């Protein structure tokens, strides 16, 4: 069989160690099942079982990875047939796993970060009732996520896709007593449904045109399709990716999803699930390679999202929401990268991996801060915490440096490569996308530095407030070891992963059997120039933030208001609003406008559709009068319509 354009190698049947790959799915699923079924009996050991299954899966993943590494590039792609899932005539959906460099990379990311976050959750959720249920859901998530990346066809992927959506829904709504958790969970579910619709239709088109949905067959025969169908498939897959990955215009659910517990935000809404969209596009690279228009739309979406994300990130005062918009923006980078095509697939995956490390670390740091501050999320009520939480501060700062792309931290390597590749696009595209990506880097540095200053540096404003809004006194303290160790491990990843993966194109070479060789680009600006520019712009962003927020102490609250912490906080907010308006008025307006559009426009569209349906439903409902005579009349009218239509079709 002729190898398709991407250079993806043919799959061989899995053998040896790989034939046990079903364990990857079965272990976490087993954990989830035991935890859910055992009930209260599992309270004592439930969290340990949850961790053990994930760690076991990680260990197996590692073993599999090293085995595969020992094989030649030709043998690295294998398939494991488990059973025939939906066999009906021509439609034969088998339940099989595809083990190749791309999926194994994700397996390691998911189980690796998953293990760390499971361990972290032992400490974080220690005071929670029903902790075992939390672990059950986390295990369920890991299992579904692994299915998503390991499936050997689009239907299996869809299966995992819905599974992670469900787990995410359950976990966002974890704090059942909070109304915002309920509405956030609902919003996430519904917005994801919009994306899922796109994915489902794309799968049906493939099935209709090609009669198959497995990766091997689809990719081998995709060039039989008309360019129109290919464009439709690429756009619909992109819609699915937008829903799951919080990309424009479906980004609004992701910040709201921060209502869930912090480990969930770190694992699902930063490191793994939200990157599923990137995975989907990278996995479908043979399809995207055939449609330049489709890729352009992907790039536009990525570019728009990355700007929106960092501009709104400047405006929020909630620790986790700023990080969430940062995630939106960073995934925008990844989407932009995979939109670039063969020059960018591997770069997108690389940024995904480094981002998995440092963003998970940043979230865990945020969780650690909130854990020590009575679950306080408002950064204006923090400040000067570095002294009280040295380990959290140190690990968080390393993640911060990685995110804003300071060499030699990991974000530098991965983000820079994307910016350089964007500049490599021909013509105006190079300048537009490269410029957007550069601007994004500067803005990222700005809002992240603001976050750093307001939380860890400056005056400890919480001392003046004394108590959090629920009346508990602030006693900032370092978190237990179960939380510290994962943060340290992730910090190490934030520091070293970028160089390690970039050095000698280690990652790109490893992914070649799946994504094709990483092509070089030579654009308007060469790589060194881009690197210098992006670091310089980031430093400008940092400096600006220090000028605005760090040079002088944040306005001290007036003595009168000390006893009214809420009003004091409000005054604090006014002061800063003034501050911002004087120095960065245009930026503020822009971000305000975007927040407005985000809240009113996009939400409005969602709510408006719901209102339209609800309204018409309410009006139509009145037709259901309860009178038999009107029911009979409606039947009669229906019958007349059916008859009329039949006869019209016949005699026209």
Partner 1 sequence: MTFLAQVELIKPPEIEYSAIAPVLIVLGAACVSVLFEAFLPKHQRWAAQVVLTMLTFIGAGTALGLYAGAETTTAQGITTLSGAVAVDRPVIFLWVTLLLLGFGSILLIADRSVEPGGAFVADAAVRPGTVQDRAQATRTGMQTEVFPLTLFALAGMMVFVAANDLLTMFIALEVLSLPLYLMCGLARRRRLLSQEAAVKYFLLGAFASAFFLYGLALLYGYAGSVKLADIATATAGSDKSDTLLFAGFGLLVVGLLFKASVGPFHAWTPDVYQGAPTPITAFMAACTKVAAFGGILRVLTVAFERTNWEWRGVLWGVAVASMVIGAVLGLTQTDVKRMVAYSSVAHAGFLLIGSISLTEQGLSGTLFYLLAYGFTTIAVFGVISLVRNADGEATHLSQWAGLAKRSPVLAGVFTFLLLALAGIPLTSGFVGKFVVFAAAIQDGLAPLVVVALVASAVAAFFYLRVIVLMYFSEPAPDGPTVTVPGAFTTIAITVGAAVTLVLGVWPSFALDWAGAGGFIF
Residues that bind partner 1 (CB under 8 A): 83-91, 93, 155, 158-159, 162-163, 166, 173, 176, 179, 181-182, 185-186, 189-190, 193-194, 196-197, 200-201, 204-205, 207-208, 211, 610, 613-614, 616-618, 620-621, 624, 626, 628, 630-632, 634-635, 637-639, 641-643, 645-647, 649-651
Give the span between the Cα atoms of 295 and 600, in whole angstroms.
Answer: 29
- H or E stretch including 95? strand 91-99
Backbone φ, ψ for residue 87 (5° rounding): -95, 105
Nearer to partner 1, 292 or 645 (CB): 645
Backbone φ, ψ for residue 106 (5° rounding): -65, -35
* Minimum separation from the CB atom of position 371 to partner 1 (A): 24
* Minimum separation from the CB atom of position 411 to partner 1 (A): 35
Could you list the beta-strand ranges (E) of 161-294. none
Nearer to partner 1, 87 or 390 (CB): 87
Nearer to partner 1, 276 or 530 (CB): 276
Q: Interior CA angle at 453 toward 450 and 459, to 5°? A: 135
* Minimum separation from the CB atom of position 401 to partner 1 (A): 39
Burial grade of 375 (CB within 10 A; 0-12, 13-18, 19 or more): middle
Residue 268 structure tokens: 């699902």
Nearer to partner 1, 573 or 643 (CB): 643
Nearer to partner 1, 15 or 624 (CB): 624
- Residue 564 CB partners (closer than 8 Å, separation 6+): none
Give the span between the Cα atoms of 335 and 345, in whole angstroms.
Answer: 9
- Residue 646 CB partners (closer than 8 Å, separation 6+): none
* Minimum separation from the CB atom of position 500 to partner 1 (A): 36
Nearer to partner 1, 573 or 635 (CB): 635
Nearer to partner 1, 582 or 612 (CB): 612
* Minimum separation from the CB atom of position 189 to partner 1 (A): 6
Nearer to partner 1, 581 or 637 (CB): 637
**Count of positions (residues) in the chain:** 652
Residue 262 structure tokens: 């912090």
Q: Interior CA angle at 274 toward 297 and 94, to 5°? A: 90
Give the span between the Cα atoms of 362 and 359, in whole angstroms.
Answer: 5
* Minimum separation from the CB atom of position 237 to partner 1 (A): 15
- H or E stretch including 92? strand 91-99
Burial 242-274 (b: 16+ CB within 10 A, else e): bbbbbbbbbbbbbbbbbbbbbbbbbbbbbbbbb
* Minimum separation from the CB atom of position 249 to partner 1 (A): 16
* Minimum separation from the CB atom of position 203 to partner 1 (A): 9
Give the span between the Cα atoms of 315 and 565, in whole angstroms.
Answer: 22
* Minimum separation from the CB atom of position 37 to partner 1 (A): 11
Nearer to partner 1, 209 or 512 (CB): 209
* Minimum separation from the CB atom of position 405 to partner 1 (A): 38
* Minimum separation from the CB atom of position 23 to partner 1 (A): 17
Residue 125 structure tokens: 């959720």
* Minimum separation from the CB atom of position 100 to partner 1 (A): 23
List Cα–Cα distances, 317 to 259, 312, 378, 570, in angstroms.
Answer: 14, 11, 6, 12
Nearer to partner 1, 65 or 207 (CB): 207
- Residue 106 CB partners (closer than 8 Å, separation 6+): 149, 279
Q: Are 99 and 77 in contact (CB under 8 A)?
A: yes
- Residue 71 CB partners (closer than 8 Å, separation 6+): none
- Residue 177 CB partners (closer than 8 Å, separation 6+): none
Q: Are 81 and 93 in contact (CB under 8 A)?
A: no
Nearer to partner 1, 75 or 162 (CB): 162
Nearer to partner 1, 208 or 475 (CB): 208
Nearer to partner 1, 185 or 299 (CB): 185
* Minimum separation from the CB atom of position 606 to partner 1 (A): 11
Give the span between the Cα atoms of 182 and 649, in whole angstroms.
Answer: 50
Nearer to partner 1, 185 or 401 (CB): 185
* Minimum separation from the CB atom of position 260 to partner 1 (A): 13
SS3 of residue 462 by DSSP: helix
No. of helices (H) and no. of strands (E), the chain? 26, 3
Q: Residue 170 forms beta bridges with which residues?
A: none
């Amino acid at each position: 069989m002729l190898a398709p354009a991407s250079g993806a190698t043919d799959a061989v049947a899995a053998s040896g160690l790989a034939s046990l790959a079903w364990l990857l799915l079965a272990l976490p699923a087993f954990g989830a099942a035991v935890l859910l079924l055992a009930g209260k009996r599992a309270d004592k050991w439930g969290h340990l079982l949850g961790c053990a299954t994930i760690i076991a899966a990680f260990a197996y993943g590692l073993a599999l990875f090293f085995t595969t590494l020992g094989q030649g590039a030709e043998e690295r792609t294998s398939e494991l047939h488990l059973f025939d899932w939906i066999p009906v005539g021509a439609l034969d959906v088998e339940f099989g796993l595809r083990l190749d460099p791309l999926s194994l990379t994700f397996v390691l990311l998911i189980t690796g970060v998953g293990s760390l976050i499971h361990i972290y959750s032992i400490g974080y959720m220690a005071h929670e009732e029903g902790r075992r249920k939390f672990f059950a859901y986390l295990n369920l998530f890991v299992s579904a996520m692994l299915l998503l990346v390991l499936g050997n066809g689009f239907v299996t992927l869809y299966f995992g896709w819905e599974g992670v959506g469900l787990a995410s829904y359950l976990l966002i709504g974890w704090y059942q007593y909070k109304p915002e958790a309920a509405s956030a969970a609902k919003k996430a579910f519904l917005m994801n449904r919009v994306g899922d619709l796109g994915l489902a239709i794309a799968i049906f088109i493939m099935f209709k045109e090609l009669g198959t949905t497995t990766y091997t067959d689809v990719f081998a025969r995709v060039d039989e399709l008309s360019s129109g169908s290919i464009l439709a498939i690429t756009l619909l897959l992109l819609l699915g990716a937008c829903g799951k990955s919080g990309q424009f215009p479906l980004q609004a659910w992701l910040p709201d999803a921060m209502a869930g517990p912090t480990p969930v935000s770190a694992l699902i809404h930063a490191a793994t699930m939200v990157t599923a969209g990137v995975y989907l596009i990278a996995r479908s690279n043979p399809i995207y390679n055939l449609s330049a228009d489709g890729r352009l739309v992907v790039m536009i979406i990525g570019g728009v999202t990355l700007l929106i994300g960092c501009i709104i990130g400047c405006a929020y005062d909630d620790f986790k929401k700023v990080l969430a918009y940062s995630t939106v923006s960073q995934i925008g980078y990844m989407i932009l990268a995979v939109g670039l095509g063969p020059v960018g697939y591997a770069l997108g995956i690389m940024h995904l991996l480094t981002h998995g490390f440092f963003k998970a670390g940043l979230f865990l740091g945020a969780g650690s801060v909130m854990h020590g501050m009575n679950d306080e999320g408002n950064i204006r009520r923090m400040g000067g915490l570095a002294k009280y939480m040295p380990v959290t501060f140190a690990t968080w700062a390393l993640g911060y440096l990685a995110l804003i792309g300071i060499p030699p931290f990991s974000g530098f390597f991965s983000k820079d490569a994307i910016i350089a590749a964007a500049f490599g696009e021909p013509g105006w595209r190079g300048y537009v996308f490269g410029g957007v990506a550069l601007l994004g880097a500067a803005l990222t540095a700005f809002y992240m530095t603001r976050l750093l200053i307001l939380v860890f540096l400056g005056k400890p404003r919480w001392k003046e407030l004394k108590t959090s809004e629920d009346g508990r006194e602030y006693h900032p303290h370092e978190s237990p070891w179960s939380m510290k160790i994962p943060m340290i491990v992730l910090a190490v990843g934030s520091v070293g992963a970028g160089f390690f993966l970039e050095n000698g194109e280690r990652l790109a070479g490893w992914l070649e059997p799946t994504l094709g060789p990483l092509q070089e680009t030579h654009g308007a600006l060469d790589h060194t120039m881009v690197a210098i520019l992006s670091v310089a712009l980031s430093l400008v962003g940092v400096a600006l933030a220090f000028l605005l927020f760090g040079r002088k102490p944040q306005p001290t609250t007036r003595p009168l208001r000390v006893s009214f912490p809420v009003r004091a906080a409000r005054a604090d907010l006014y002061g800063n609003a003034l501050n911002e308006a004087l120095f960065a008025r245009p930026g503020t307006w822009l971000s305000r406008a975007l927040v407005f559009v985000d809240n009113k426009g996009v939400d409005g569209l969602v709510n408006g559709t719901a209102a339209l349906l609800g309204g018409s439903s309410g009006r139509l409902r009145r037709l259901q009068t309860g009178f038999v005579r009107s029911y009979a009349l409606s039947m009669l009218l229906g019958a007349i319509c059916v008859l009329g239509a039949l006869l019209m079709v016949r005699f026209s």
